[in-house]
Amino acid sequence: MRMVVLGLGYLGATHAACMAELGHEVLGIEIMPEKRAQLAAGQVPFYEPGLPDMLKRHIDSGRLTISGSYVEAAKFADVFFIAVGTPQKKGEYSADLQYVDAAIEELVPQLTRNALILGKSTVPVGTAERLTTRAQELAKDIDVEIAWNPEFLREGYAIADTLKPDRLVLGAYPGGRAETFCRQIYAATLAEGTPFIVADPPTAELVKTSANAFLATKISFINAIAEVCDAAGADVQAIAEAIGYDARIGRKFLNAGLGFGGGCLPKDIRAFMARAGELGAAEALSFLREVDNVNMRRRQRMVDITREVCGGTLLGKRIAILGAAFKPESDDVRDSPALNVAGQIQLQGASVAVYDPKAMENSRKVFPTLDYAGTVLDACDQADAVLVLTEWREFVDLDPLPVRDVVRCANVIDGRMCLDKNRWVSNGWNFVV
Ligand code: UDX
C-alpha cells in the first residue's frame, strides 16, 4: 500500500522505515531541511538501535522516499500518518498542538481525492474531533476521514515495538474506512495474533494518555516507597522484587532511582492534567500532580546526597556524572534527570564532568557550560564523587578498581540502583544509593 508519514522525528522516522519493512511504499515528509537531507541520504539524526540499517535499506531500494512537499504528499497516497511532535507548551502544562494543526492546515487543502488521516502523535482527548471539523472546512469536495492510531514505542526498542507491538489501537468514527485500511496496513502484524482494539477516537486518544500516566504512576509509586525506605532503613529493591512476583502487580517499571524523564512521560502526564481540567475533571487526576512531585524530588535528593557525601558543600568539588541520556539505549536528553542533576550540582559551585556513550552531542547543545569527558576515566579524574545516573551497560559492567585509581575520593552514588554493591565496596568504594 502507498502511504505518507508526516514528521520524521523519533516516532515518524521509525514508523516510516517500519512501514517500508512491512512492504509498503512510503513517502516521509520532514519540513526541516537539514533533517530531511540526512534522512534522504540514509542517515538517522538520532540514536536508535537497528534503525540506520533499516532506513538505509529502504531508501536504497526506493521503497521509502523523503520530501518536504505537501503537494507531493497529497499526490502520493490516500493514507496519511501524522507523526509530528506534541511538546509541552512553554510555561504551561498543556500540549502544544501547533505541529499537528499545521499538518492538517498544510495537507488538506492540497488533497484532490478522498483521504484517510491516521494520527499517531500523542494528543489531548478531543483532538481528532476538532481536527475532523477543521478538515471538513478545508477539504475541497472530497471526504477526509480522521482517525487515531496511537503509538506506544519506547526509544531504544522502537523497531521491535513498531513491528511487534503489544497491541494495536484504532479510534475511528463509524462508517469510515479506517479499520479496513488499518487491517491492510498492519496485516502482517495482525496475522501474528497482535490484539487489535477498535474504539472511538476519544477512547483511542485516552488509551495512550492513560498508558503513559499509569507507567509514570508505577515509577513514582516505587520511588515514594523508596523515600519511606530511606527513612526506615529498608531496602526498596527487595520490596520491588517481592511485590513484583505478584502477577497483579508485575516487576516491570518498579525500578526505583532517579525517576522518569524523556520526551513523553513528564509532558504527557502534565498535558493529561491540563486536559482533564479543561473538561471539568481536574480532581480525577489530582494524584498525577503527586506523581510528578515524587519524580522531581528524586532529582533534588540526588543533589542533596551528593552534597552530604562531599562533606556538606559542593563548592570547589569535582563531580563525575556517568550518564546524560534520559535512559540507556537512547541519545535523547529531553527532560533528562541526569542532566538536570548535573546542572543543579554545577550551580551549587562544583565542577562537573559528564560522560555518556551516546548523548554527548545532544547534552552539549542543552548544557554547554558543563565539562564533557571522552571516557569514563577522564570524567572521573580527580573526582570527589562519581554519580551513575543512566544505567548504560558500560557503567553496570564497569571495573571499579581502575576508576578508584583516578578519583580523589572513592565515593560512588548509584542513582539508578544498577551497580553490584559488593563489587564496589570490596574494591574500596564508599557506596551510596
Ligand atoms: C514511554 C512509554 O514507555 C512508551 O510506551 C510511550 O509511547 C512513550 O513514552 P520512553 O519515553 O521511550 O517511552 O521511555 P520508557 O522506557 O518508558 O522510560 C521512561 C523513563 O522512566 C526513563 O527515564 C526511565 O529511566 C524511567 N524508568 C523506567 C524508571 O525510572 N524506572 C522504571 O522502572 C522504568
- In sequence order, the β-bridge partners of residue 65 are 27
* The ligand 1 atom nearest the CA atom of 122: 7
Residue among 149, 143, 134, 153 at smallest CA distance from 176: 143
**Structure-block grid coordinates of residue 356:** 555518556
Residue 196 amino acid letter:
F
Nearest CA to ligand 1 atom 26: 260
In degrees, rounded to 5, the angle at the alpha carbon of residue 9 between the alpha carbons of residues 86 and 388 is: 90
Question: 236 CA distance to ligand 1 centroid (A)?
Answer: 19
pLDDT at residue 203, as a whole number: 98
Residue 412's pLDDT band, with cuts at 50, 70 and 90, is very high
pLDDT at residue 388, as a whole number: 99
Calpha distance 183→191 (Å, rounded): 10
pLDDT digits (tens, 9 = 90+) for 275-333: 999 999 999 999 999 999 999 999 999 999 999 999 999 999 999 999 999 999 999 99
> Is the CB–ligand 1 distance for residue 264 below 6 Å?
yes
Read off the pLDDT of each residue in 222-227 and give the average, rounded to a whole number.
98
Q: What is the mean pLDDT of the chain?
A: 98
264 is catalytic: yes
> Is the CB–ligand 1 distance for residue 259 below 6 Å?
yes
> Is the CB–ligand 1 distance for residue 392 below 6 Å?
no
Answering whether pTM is above 0.95, one says yes
Question: 136 CA distance to ligand 1 centroid (A)?
Answer: 37
Calpha distance 52→64 (Å, rounded): 13
Calpha distance 385→340 (Å, rounded): 17
Distance set, CA 333 to CA 262, 366, 394 (Å): 7, 8, 18
> Is the CB–ligand 1 distance for residue 327 below 6 Å?
yes
Nearest CA to ligand 1 atom 34: 253
Read off the pLDDT of each residue in 406-423 and give the average, rounded to a whole number.
98
- In sequence order, the β-bridge partners of residue 319 are 352, 385
pLDDT at residue 12, as a whole number: 98
CATH of domain 2-199: 3.40.50.720
> Is the CB–ligand 1 distance for residue 251 below 6 Å?
no
- In sequence order, the β-bridge partners of residue 371 are 353
* Catalytically annotated residue among 264, 310, 380, 418: 264
Q: Which residue reads 545532544 in cell numbers?
A: 362
Residue range(s) occupied by CATH 3.40.50.720 in the chain: 2-199, 295-432
Residue 32's pLDDT band, with cuts at 50, 70 and 90, is very high
* Distant-in-sequence contacts of 107-110, Cβ < 8 A, 24+ apart: 107/6, 107/70, 107/73, 107/74, 107/80, 108/134, 108/135, 108/138, 108/139, 108/144, 109/138, 109/140, 110/70, 110/71, 110/73, 110/74
> Is the CB–ligand 1 distance for residue 266 below 6 Å?
no
DSSP secondary structure of 162-206: HHS-S-EEEE--TTSSHHHHHHHHTHHHHHTT--EEEE-HHHHHH
Residue 416 amino acid letter:
R
Query: Which residues have CB under 8 Å from 91's CB, separation 6+?
Result: none
* The ligand 1 atom nearest the CA atom of 263: 11
Calpha distance 319→379 (Å, rounded): 8
pLDDT at residue 416, as a whole number: 98
**Structure-block grid coordinates of residue 166:** 503489544
Calpha distance 80→108 (Å, rounded): 10
Q: Where are the beta strands (DSSP E) in 68-143?
A: 79-82, 115-119
pLDDT at residue 317, as a whole number: 98
pLDDT digits (tens, 9 = 90+) for 33-92: 999 999 999 999 999 999 999 999 999 999 999 999 999 999 999 999 999 999 999 999
**Terminal Cα-to-Cα distance of the chain (whole angstroms):** 52
Residue 214 amino acid letter:
F
Residue 85 amino acid letter:
G
411-414 and 385-388 strand pairing: parallel
Nearest CA to ligand 1 atom 17: 154
pLDDT at residue 15, as a whole number: 98
Looking at domain 295-432, its CATH architecture is 3-Layer(aba) Sandwich (3.40)
